[in-house]
Structure 1
Amino acid sequence: MNSVPIWDPHQYLRHSGHRARPFLDLLARLPEPPAARLRPPRIADIGCGPGNVTALLAERWPTAVITGFDNSPEMLALAEKEHAGATPGGGRLDFREADAAYWTPDEPYDLIVSNAALQWVPGHADSFARWIDALTPGGAFAFQVPGNYEAPSHALLGTLCALPEWRTRLAGRGRDFAHVLDPADYLDRLTGLGCAADAWETTYYQLLPGEDPVLDWVKGTALRPVLTELGDDADAVDAFLGQYRDLLRKAYPAGPHGTVFPFRRIFAVARTPEA
């Protein structure tokens, strides 16, 4: 069984507007790093994917030196092609291979962020201490993760993978990503590490265009472990996607203006004490 999904950055970016919106909301809540008054901020983006939201950090802090970390060669290749290098404000963007499950900062950071990545990492909250320890005084750690694992889109995927015809190959594949805590749990973890913290949740009612848009959405995210496991077995891929498509059509019927796809997101921002 393949443990690491193979990512398709172009499929992921098909819904880039909706996917980036929670990060923009998170970005609006981020404090200014105290060190930014004296020098360019140093920023890390854990699970940067194709780099499109990493680039938004450079717009917020034009002089910043920003590194995006990801364990997907496909994502990193596109990020480096589209976004790496000097930024117009005098800063710099670069990208490195690293697994969020094991990443340990090797230098101080003014800001560490993660956008829709930690849900793939079992026990990710256990890493908060070492990430926060790497922050400069007054630095911040902030993230958002999907919180919709009880929604039909994800619950049906788990149910389908567990059916007799699929369970031998796909048991657990529909729940590979469900490692998210409640906002209150994140708040407790972060304040327990000595931070001033805030946590909240938002449900976005996304209007998706086109035919079977919810299926198209999950092809870029939750379906990646399934598609990776089925690999080049075209008949199995077609059969699985056909069954899943029919379930999604009933759960998310198309309306006259598109398909409404509610999506819950969980956010947290933690700040260390200033010196």
Structure 2
Amino acid sequence: MDWDPALYRRYEDERTRPAAELLARVPLASARRVVDLGCGPGNSTELLARRFPEAQVLGVDNAEPMLADARKRLPEARFELGDIARWQPAGEAPDLIYANAALQWVPGHEQLLPRLFGLLAPGGVLAVQMPDNRQEPTHRLMRELASQAPWASHIGDADRVRTELLAIGGYYDLLAPEAADVDVWHTIYQHRMASAAAIVEWVSGTGLRPFLDPLPTELRASYLQAYAQGVESAYPARSDGRRLLAFPRMFIVARRPA
């Protein structure tokens, strides 16, 4: 996908809030090796570097434009191009594997999460946050339009664009048998957005990318126009003129036995 770091950063405060709340629940007093899977432009990696100033911090992403931004932002950390589905530590096992809003793009969670958990050092922590908004109007509209002409032939199977998450208890069951502790929770953020257009802009930097990228220029414009009309109806103005964007997110923090 054609990730745009500048567009992603436009709502950086809102995107970083769940990253900080995930990190706040990580039960580590210190760490020597920390990995940020799906690091994007480095906003979450910066949180990790501040929390663990003595650690070797590695950010991994599959988009070079994101990595270029991350290197400028945090030159003291190391960043590398990589695929989360196949990633392995090159040296010693990490004390923290942290993945903020990244694993929802990777299929096969029944194998992926136990594999990542097994890569940790003794006493290490796997910390994951994933948007759980496939059934929100923003994302239902994406798929509904993508299944219609003239866009469907370019986009393909819209239901397979993003991984279907397990129920929260399913992730607990995957990790609990081998873990010293598993903490799972679900939060629905209510982001105050200036307009329906602002909501479209927000998702244009993330969830809309797999739908827009395959479209030729003229069809991209018509898809966005139809999508904006749907968002305008689905998110009515509140008493102050703003729109509330409900954004469910799932959190998982699992610690290996020491």
Is the TM-score greater than 0.5?
A: yes
8 Å contact 2:36–2:44 — kept in the other structure?
no
Distance 2:69 2:135 in 1: 32
Instruction: Name the residue aligned to 1:101.
Output: 85
Q: C-alpha deviations, 1:145-190, integer Å up to 9, x for none?
A: 0001101000111000001322111122465123322211111101
Within 5 Å, which residues of 2 pair with 1:219-258? 219-230=204-215, 233-255=216-238, 256-258=240-242
2:45 aligned with 1:46: no
Q: Pick closer, same or farther for the CA change 1:66–1:116 going to 2, 3 Å.
A: same
**2:25 alignment counterpart:** 29
Instruction: Quote the offset at 1:257 in angstroms.
Output: 4.2
Measured in 2, the distance between the counterparts of 1:237 and 1:77 equals 27
Question: 1:128 Cα deviation (Å)?
Answer: 2.4
User: Structure 1 residues 125 and 51, CA, compared in 2 at 3 Å: closer, same or farther?
Assistant: farther
RMSD in angstroms over aligned alpha carbons?
Answer: 1.5
For residues 4-15 of structure 1, the aligned pairs below 5 Å read 5-15=1-11
Q: Which amino acid aligns with 1:141?
A: L
2:9 maps to a residue whose letter is L
Aligned to 1:65: 56
1:83-105 deviation per Cα after TM superposition (whole angstroms, max 9, x unaligned): 122xxxxxxx1100111111122
The amino acid of 1:76's aligned partner reads: L
How many residues get paired?
256
**2:67: which partner in 1?**
76
TM-score (normalizing by structure 1): 0.89
TM-score by length of 2: 0.94
For 2:190, what is the secondary structure of its paired residue?
strand
Deviations 1:56-105 (A, max 9, x none): 111111111100000011111111122122xxxxxxx1100111111122
| Separation (CA, whole Å) in 2 of partners of 1:174 and 1:49 | 24
Which letter maps to 1:16?
A: E
Partners of 1:179 and 1:249 in 2: CA distance: 26
In the TM superposition, what whole-angstrom CA distance separates every residue of 1:220-273 from its partner, at most 9, and x where no partner exists?
Answer: 11111122112xx32211111000000010001233242100000000000011
User: Structure 1's 249 and 95: CA in aligned 2 closer, same or farther, altered over 3 A?
Assistant: same
Aligned-pair CA distance for 1:192:
2.6
Q: Equivalent residues in 2 for 1:160-171 (5 A)? A: 160-171=145-156
1:210: how far off?
Answer: 4.3
Q: Given that residues 161 and 174 in structure 1 are in contact (C-alpha distance below 8 angstroms), is that contact kept between their aligned partners in structure 2?
A: no
Q: Tell me what 1:88 maps to.
A: none
Which secondary structure does the structure 2 equivalent of 1:53 belong to?
Answer: helix
Unaligned stretches of 5+ residues in structure 2: none
Paired letter, 1:55: E
Identical residues among aligned pairs (%): 39
1:148 is the counterpart of 2:136: no
Classify the secondary structure of the residue corresponding to 1:54: helix
Cα pair 1:183 1:200 within 8 Å, conserved: yes
For residue 123 of structure 2, give the secondary structure of its aligned residue in structure 1. strand
Aligned residue for 2:151, secondary structure, equals helix
| 1:105-159 residue CA offsets vs partner (Å, 9 max, x unmatched) | 2331111000000000011341223322221221100100000110100011100
1:260 to 241, 244, 247: 244
